[in-house]
A and B are shown apart, each in its own frame.
Chain A
Amino acid sequence: MDEAIVSLSHVDAGYPGKVILRDVSFDIMRGEVFILLGGSGCGKSTMMKHMIGLNPVLAGELTVAGMKWGSRTRAGLCRKIGVMYQSGALFGSMSCIGNVMLPMEEFTSLNRKERKEKAMSLLADVELADAADKMPSEISGGMKKRVAIARAMALDPEVVFLDEPSAGLDPITSASLDDLVLKLRAEKGMTFVVVSHELPSIFKIADRAAMFDKARGGMVALGDPRDMKVSSKDPFVLKFFNRGDSHV
């Protein structure tokens, strides 16, 4: 965990004409589970969109695996990252296994049998081998997210981004996704960057976290969230971790 896989230096995040977060700097180390956290609308998903190359940063420098997003580096960088979107974003016209095989079909020289074997292995990793031939409309929200994680790992990425994996899930399904993240990190050594504001999930999986505050328009804390909860001097951070009560 001593090499930065994602590095931000004085980054301004937002959209053209609207800066949401200013002057954000931190590194995400290889092999860690890193959480982007904060209240609703604070800019954590926007920050993730910069990291995965959907939107360019407004200022500063952002590198993933040592490269900046650009037209020349895009193709290479896309194979170094995997993304699970909040809704799963599975392609409705393809079965679950079809979704997982798609990146391999486009970017590897594996034949159909090899692709299918690898996709089945990935679905087994997320405990959904039985649902391989089902269509996304036939499976639950939690299962969609698991299939999306399997698809995100199809090209053996160096870093996997998860956008609010717990959103819309019951506590048991949400906890099982947390276990899955920890299992995949342990087995495959992947780096996970997770956007979340679910405290039980954060305390369970996070190595480190960056906390953003909408009112101040920037990062207000960086480190182990367990330490933040007990030793932060920042009233916003204390209030966030103690569910609204800043005096706890």
Chain B
Amino acid sequence: MFEFLGETCVCAVAALFRPHRFRFGDSAVAFQRASFDGIPVTSGVGFLLGVILAFQCAAALKAFGVELYVSDMLAIALFRELGPVVTAIILAGRTGSAFAAEIGTMKTNEELDALTTMGLAPVRFLVLPRVVAAAAAMPVLTILSEIAGLVGGAVVLATMGVPQSVFWSHVADATTVTMILFGLAKSLFFGFVVGMIGCFEGMRTKSTADGVGRAATGAVVGAIVAIVMLDGLIAVIADLWEI
């Protein structure tokens, strides 16, 4: 994995100095599949997450007559933690597995060997465009998921008689630019991780009947475990740095 990570980083640096060698077309296709095609599921899950969170918290806070503060809690939870993490898990399920299956199928069809014998590095040709696409798609999807979650919360609180203007003003008061940027930076990082693990699993696919299936499963499971672990680590670092 570390060798693969190193090779990808070397290719990324080389692409910075020779941008014409980067496969923008392939990356654009991967970005479109990872982002635009994922909008319905990401925003749908985000909306339902907002609804569920608002219902659960409102039920508890209503006893104290402070259900209005559900909006503050929703904003902080979505922008700091749940938005990036849940979106990354969806990306792992949709895009990470797709990367593993695509590259794994290419490997079993000898297409990776064909690239190698043509003198084209599979990492530059296949991995880098996909990792860049996944990293770029994550902030877009995260923002949509967060907005959808807030809308879900607003709908729930509206049924409890909380005026919309009050809900959204509480959201605005509880949200800071640092918080939003922190969440987006995390989402960018998670996108990179999902892309890397998906491509890594694809590249090491075995030429057996269940090889591609195993690679796709490995991509999803590996990415989810990595996201949760990294999120915990980032939370500790953020606390130490008082972000």
Question: B118 at interface (Cβ–Cβ under 8 A)?
Answer: yes
The one of B109, B110, B118 in contact with A102, judged by C-beta atoms closer than 8 angstroms, is B118
Task: Judge whether A85 and B114 touch: CB under 8 Å.
Answer: yes
Interface residues of B, count at CB 8 A: 13
Hey, which chain A residues are within 8 Å of B119, CB to CB? 74-75, 78-79, 106-107
Interface residues of A, count at CB 8 A: 21
Hey, which chain B residues are within 8 Å of A53, CB to CB? 116-117
Binds B, one of A86-94, A109-117, A124-132: A86-94
Q: B104-145: contact bitstring with A at CB < 8 Å (1 yes, 0 no)?
A: 001001110110111110000000000000000000000000
Give Cα distance in the complex from A217 to B73, angstroms.
Answer: 71
Give Cα distance in the complex from A53 to B113, angstroms.
Answer: 10
Q: Quick one: closest A residue to B115, CB to CB?
A: A91
Hey, which chain B residues are within 8 Å of A83, CB to CB? 113-114, 117
Q: Quick one: closest A residue to B25, CB to CB?
A: A93
Question: A103 at interface (Cβ–Cβ under 8 A)?
Answer: yes
Task: Judge whether A54 and B118 touch: CB under 8 Å.
Answer: no
Nearest CB of chain A from residue B204's CB, rounded to whole Å: 16
Question: A195 at interface (Cβ–Cβ under 8 A)?
Answer: no
Task: Judge whether B118 and A89 touch: CB under 8 Å.
Answer: no
Task: Judge whether B109 and A103 touch: CB under 8 Å.
Answer: no
The one of A54, A74, A75, A106 in contact with B113, judged by C-beta atoms closer than 8 angstroms, is A54
Task: Judge whether A106 and B117 touch: CB under 8 Å.
Answer: no
Give Cα distance in the complex from A41 to B21, angstroms.
Answer: 40
Task: Judge whether A54 and B111 touch: CB under 8 Å.
Answer: no
Taking A54-B113, A103-B118 as given, write out 5 further A-B residue pairs in contact, using a Cβ cutoff of 8 Å, ordered by the A residue number. A85-B114, A91-B111, A93-B26, A102-B118, A107-B119
Interface residues of A (CB under 8 A from B): 52-54, 74-75, 78-79, 81, 83, 85-87, 89-93, 102-103, 106-107
Chosen A-B contacts, 28 in total, with CB atoms closer than 8 Å, are A52-B117, A53-B116, A53-B117, A54-B113, A54-B116, A74-B119, A78-B118, A78-B119, A79-B119, A83-B114, A85-B110, A85-B114, A89-B110, A89-B111, A89-B113, A89-B114, A90-B111, A91-B106, A92-B109, A92-B111, A93-B29, A102-B118, A102-B120, A103-B118, A106-B118, A106-B119, A106-B120, A107-B119
